[in-house]
Chain A
Amino acid sequence: MAKTVVLLCRCFGELDGIIALDGIADRLRAEREDTSVYLLNSLCMEEDAHRIGALLKQEGARAVCAGLCAAGSKREALWESLRNAGIERSGLFTADLREGCAWIHQGNPPGATEKAKDLLFMALAALDEKKASADVSADVHPECLVLGAGPAGLAAAVSLAGQGIPVHLVERAAQPGGMLNLISRTYPGDDHAKTRIEPLLREVETNNMIAFYPRSKVVSVRGFAGDFKIGIQGPDGTLRLRAGAVIIATGAGVLLPRGLYRYGELKQVITQMELERQWIRGVPDDKRFAFIQCAGARSPERAYCSTICCPSSLKNAMRVMEEIPGGEATIFHRDIMTPGNLLEAYYRKSMEKGVRFIRFHEEDPPEILGGDRVEAIRVRDAARGKEQVLALEKVVLSTPLVPNMDNRSLRELFQLELDSHGFFSETYPLHPLETRVDGIFIAGSARWPVSSDKAMEQGEGAAMKALGMLKRDRVSALSLSRTPGEKPGHGTVEERTCTGCGNCVSVCPFLACSLQERDGRFVSRVNKMRCKACGSCVSVCPNGTMQIPEHNYRMVGAMIRRAFP
């Protein structure tokens, strides 16, 4: 009974006249005793796939080498017949005989045939050395931890609770609501700040699917996707929670513009947040307001646009025009950032309400005039090309959101990535709510400055991503693949030869490698749940200890030796 079966695809006669498949088949049979060779009209059509299944069973095949085309989309029927015949991934190796051989050497049939023969012999040599990675799996704990009870976290918690998922909602402050506790109104609906989250706050109080932990923070994290074990420290001591997924929605801070536009020196120069506090207390006394955009943002120190400042100024400028008798509002800006439909309409509305706009050049910002109080603002009006001086009483600085102080410690605890500004990074580019750690998601301004309505949207979205994890009964490491199908394998350590150098630990982008003590020495250990089989560890291992069994170096060596005897 043959051990290895070689399947050669004729591709409906496409290879005729270029690659002499029959001759190659004879050579293969002659050189390898334990190998049967079959030539088939196709390997992709269902009838042929069925025939393959039958002959593999008949041969008792343990390994399959297939010479076929490069079109990965046509493999479904073939893979299924291999699976039914009990052929594992480690018992399969393919060679591209069409796109990479016949098609590019059409004018040279002897060369193409020689190459095809070499490719197949190399594939067989590789197959002899190909091994399988071990898999691990664990039950999924169907509960979710949501960090942060601002709009993003509240939306996430309520969404998941609505799906029957118990939620642990952990909040640093004494009450939920986040930034919405500190402002008066939101845009673009100009609702009172808490209006949108009122139903969510009620849900947190009444729905016993949601456990709320105020004045609490995360102090330890262990585990992996499907089963995180998290230590929370609260006013009553430490608690241990288990969750299959985690959503980080810890929000952001606001920059205090020390040293900018005489903030701190003159009392009438305030920030947007301070203006919001004034609105909460009542209508301000002042009449003439200046709003200065990009105060401390889109600068070399903070090279980003904070997204929310332009619409916030529009909101407050319109309030000045509407609620203060004789009120005047002028917005000093570099660009007005109101992309899309809703925000552009909001911008148009502010112009209709009589808000004035003066554009300044980045290199020529406005100047605050006044001795012991704000008296006027002097600016080089970029659109009119001349200097203007406006008398006014209040200057409001639009400062950017900045990463929370907690972000760095959370980054360490959860082993996530921060971007160059300090916000939590996502896996690009189609997965804005997912991080490099499976099972951990990000939403709201912890991820990037957003308004509260967008934060809620992201919270719901992150809840949806978490639901995908939490609906599974079990999770296996090989299934945690970011690409279609299973992962290619796992980094695997040969402990006997590991010197404990730690190269793999430093280089792994997913922090899957760590050094563990074993009999008085250190050896590397791979967390299979985190490993994505990128191969970085393999390439930096000094003595070949770290391998991915399905792509180990003996395979490569065998292929090279066959190609260059």
Chain B
Amino acid sequence: MAVLVVGGGVAGILAALDLARAGQPVTLAERFQHLGGQVARLDKIYPTDHCAFCPLWTDIRNCLDHPRITVLSSATIREMKKEGDRWAVRILREPPVIEERLCIFCGRCEKACGEGAVHPLLDQAYAPVYCIDAEKCTRCGRCEPLCPTKAIDLNRKTVEDRVVVREVLWATGFENGDLKPLPEFGYGTHPDILTALEFEEWTAESGANRGRIVRRSDFRVPSRIAFIQCAGARDSRMYPYCSSVCCMHALKQAEWVKRRIPDIDCTIFYTDLRAVGRDYFKYSMKDVPGDPIRLVRGRPGLVFALPGGGIAVKYEDTFKQERRIERFDLVILNGNLKPAPAPETGMGPSLLDGEGFVDTAVGFGCGFAVEPGDIMDAAVQAASASMRMIGRDKN
């Protein structure tokens, strides 16, 4: 009997592979059209500085090819009911307008669209395929007859699947929380105040700007960038926990900014510089082109747009006991990561704790859904959670 893995990011993919290779059939449900989750949308990963997608692609491919793994993408869990020692799960799938199996990536649809609604799904997706942005699409229907393989169906119907599984593994990962309730960070008041994930997408080599580092307000190259750590995290008003990945993430982003444009000054405002895993400390001490990355210990108390241009950051350098205001061109906010909502229908409210993390005393889980951590942590937890799941049943 199959098990259900909810979430097709790093944690879910690796768990599915571990289970399948040990003989356990797996149904892997992912809410987006593509596998890979948050990591697939990153530019680079630490500490190896690989492109994020490349190492992930191997396991995505293995997942799609494995005979014991059934991948349901564009899928959301509608309901879960315990029936004896099994789970009956209703899964709603919204198959994409452009069917992946049929798309040959010729691009005729993209050329025909007058609204810019058609674009490649993910620049580094394992399967080159086009997709239609539902918000921009006017349903004019110009693209449909042009597709040589009839892959486009604007009236694609949602499909409901009902699966019965003996166990469920939650690997739903994380997402950005809203920083507007903390007005001191100025999020939402100016285009040049953005979250780390937004900055990653903005400056990714495969992103809209092809790796150029520019301001969102006027597309000019910034001369000073501030990275503010623990924005929203380690904060009793929002997320009391530490998101675990942000210190290394900021160091990585700052390093890549310097590699591309050594003249840009990068300052990281931190509370504790948590570079804890293998070679992370060495990574934090690495030489970069241009001036070194400036590390200031202190969480800024105020970030606001200046009338003449630029963003002011008011902070205390706690090592010098000095309060200062400095002007930056870009301010990157790091820390507001929270577990993505795990649809708990049928499993009861006790699956999730007060912060939204999966309680592993109640259900199986791995990755950020259980505890903030990075790719390495997710990989270890995926393997250990799989072991516990397989251990339960001798089938």
Contacts and interface: CB of A to CB of B under 8 A. Distances in A.
A448 B21 contact: no
Contacts of B105: 69, 71
Given A14-B104, A464-B390, A419 B275 contact: no
Interface in A452-504: 454, 457-458, 460-465, 467-468, 471, 482-485
B242 A341 contact: yes
Contacts of A342: 371
A345 B244 CA distance: 13
A461 B384 contact: yes
B277 interface: yes
Interface residues of B, number: 65
A460 B375 CA distance: 18
Most chain B beta-carbon contacts within 10 A, residue among A304, A454, A460, A464: A464
Interface stretch (A139-147, A423-431, A549-557): A423-431
A264 interface: no
Given A305-B280, A457-B381, A464-B386, A74 B104 contact: yes
A298 interface: yes
Interface in B316-332: 318-321
B372 A432 contact: no
A159 B318 contact: no
Please report whether the interface of chain A is mostly helix, strand, loop or mixed according to DSSP.
Answer: loop
A274 interface: no
B274 A464 contact: no
A233 interface: no
A483 to B, nearest CB: 5
A162 interface: yes
A341 B384 contact: no
A189 interface: no
A543 interface: no
B387 A428 contact: no
B126 interface: yes
A431 B50 CA distance: 14
A468 B104 contact: no
Contacts of B136: none
A93 B138 CA distance: 44
B106 A345 contact: no
B18 interface: yes
Contacts of B276: 305, 307, 337, 339
A162 B391 contact: yes
Contacts, number: 172
Interface string B368-382: 000111011001111
B22 A471 contact: yes
B277 A448 contact: yes
B149 interface: yes
A468 B18 contact: yes
A11 B390 contact: no
- Give chain A's interface residue range (CB within 8 Å of chain B): 35 or more
B56 interface: yes
Interface stretch (A59-67, A82-90, A380-388): A380-388
B20 to A, nearest CB: 9
Interface stretch (B58-66, B81-89, B194-202): B58-66
Contact of B383 (A45, A298, A461): A461
B321 A471 contact: no
B357 A339 contact: no
B355 interface: yes
A340 B127 contact: no
Given A429-B375, A457-B384, A484-B62, A341 B318 contact: no
A341 B357 contact: yes
B241 A345 contact: yes
18 contacts: A73-B128, A74-B104, A74-B127, A305-B275, A307-B277, A339-B244, A341-B371, A430-B14, A430-B55, A430-B58, A430-B59, A430-B375, A431-B379, A447-B278, A454-B380, A461-B382, A461-B386, A464-B22
Interface of A: 11-14, 42, 44-45, 69, 71, 73-74, 159, 162-163, 298, 303-305, 307, 335-345, 348, 361, 382-385, 419-420, 423, 428-433, 447-448, 454, 457-458, 460-465, 467-468, 471, 482-485
Q: 4 closest Cβ contacts across the A-B interface?
A: A461-B383, A468-B21, A12-B148, A460-B384
Given A340-B371, A430-B379, A457-B381, 4 more contacts: A71-B128, A384-B321, A420-B279, A420-B282
